[in-house]
Amino acid sequence: MELVSVDIGGTHARFAIATVADDGTISLSEPETLHTEDHASFQTAWEDFRGRMGGSLPPRVSMAIAGPVGGEVIRFTNNPWIIRPALVREKLGVEEYCIVNDFEAVAHAVARVDEDQFIHLTGPDKPLAPTGRLSVLGPGTGLGVAHLYREADGTYRVSATEGGHIDFAPLDQIDDAILARLRKRHVRVSVERVVAGPAISDIYQALASMEGRPVAEEDDIAIWKRGQDGSDSLAAAAVDRFCMSLGSVAGDIALAQGGFGGVVIAGGLGYRIRDTLLKSGFSERFKSKGRFQELMASIPVKLIVHPQPGLFGAAAAFVREHP
């Protein structure tokens, strides 16, 4: 069986043809990545991809979407597209479809990929628990969060959440300064404002203000680049602070969900900063939960390195929904 697998975030929409073998094994074609800002709607992006594929596509589609997926109209959290599920068959010319939250799809991938698709970040260096609860989260344009429960018989359940929108809890004076800057624009500051790709700009500006440095407002990508290549010590400090905050949030999510069988960091940004995560304060902040520090230190924390977990997971979700 073939289907179109789509992973739609705030910045990019990724498309691939997924092939599902008789034994359930999923393989993906080379993905096509389109910029959401270059297309007026998902339908026009779909038509662009269809043209790139020679004008025809399989009559099945599975969409992983950055945002809540219920209701008659699905609105994306970080881009202006909308999808009306009742019109999917008509607008896209498909017979069957599946729509899941993007991190719900990633959790499907976590449940199904091989152990060699993970690298160890912190905690005991052992595989993720084969049964029980796991937490899955990752920074991109926003912050995605999902929950995975593994049964003893090898089956599993996935729940989408909007955990990226819980309140940001500062832990020191630098966090206080970041919060103060964000409070000038947002009545309520969620963790997504601090632990998502664009947040590096606010972190950088907050650090600059603390040191009395006049720095220009600039694109977050430039700050990430300088912070990673070591050419700007302030940008490097901002990246380390981002990693610390990600550790704090990952620990909070594990506590809230009971993800004591393991925590998985996902997303393209997480993969790009994997070496920095290992050297940063991520691990210390993850474990720093007061009376629960010993519990937190017992949780294996991994980074999924599958190149397209959203696309893979969207295909897996389709197979579950259309056996």
Say whether both 300 and 235 belong to one domain.
Answer: yes
Distance CA 140, CA 11 (A): 9
- Strands 301-304, 263-265: pairing is parallel
Say whether both 128 and 201 belong to one domain.
Answer: yes
Distance CA 208, CA 203 (A): 9
Say whether both 196 and 240 belong to one domain.
Answer: yes
Distance CA 138, CA 185 (A): 24
Say whether both 94 and 143 belong to one domain.
Answer: no
Say whether both 64 and 78 belong to one domain.
Answer: yes
Say whether both 183 and 196 belong to one domain.
Answer: yes
CATH code: domain of residue 143:
3.40.367.20
H helix or E strand, kind and range, residue 320: helix 309-321
The secondary structure of residue 172, as a DSSP letter, is: S
Tokens standing for 318? 């389709």
Say whether both 57 and 149 belong to one domain.
Answer: no
Task: Tell me the sheet residues that pair with 4.
Answer: 17, 61
- Strands 143-150, 156-161: pairing is antiparallel
Q: Is residue 170 within 8 Å of 176, Cβ to Cβ?
A: yes
First to last CA, the chain: 11
Say whether both 94 and 156 belong to one domain.
Answer: no
Residues contributing to the annotated binding site:
6-11
Say whether both 134 and 150 belong to one domain.
Answer: yes
In a domain, 108, yes or no: no
Neighbours of 82 (CB within 10 A): 11
CB neighbour list of residue 287: distance below 8 Å, 6 or more residues apart: 122, 251, 293, 296, 297
Say whether both 248 and 207 belong to one domain.
Answer: yes
pLDDT in tens, 7-57: 998 889 999 999 999 998 999 999 999 999 999 999 999 999 999 999 999
Say whether both 129 and 87 belong to one domain.
Answer: no
Averaged confidence pLDDT in the chain: 94
Say whether both 169 and 236 belong to one domain.
Answer: yes
Residues contributing to the annotated binding site for ATP:
6-11
Tally of domains within the chain: 2
In a domain, 48, yes or no: yes
Q: What is the pTM of this model?
A: 0.90
In a domain, 149, yes or no: yes
In a domain, 84, yes or no: yes
CB neighbour list of residue 297: distance below 8 Å, 6 or more residues apart: 123, 287
In a domain, 107, yes or no: no
Q: 175: domain range? A: 114-305
pLDDT in tens, 185-241: 999 999 999 999 999 999 999 999 999 988 888 889 999 999 999 899 999 999 999
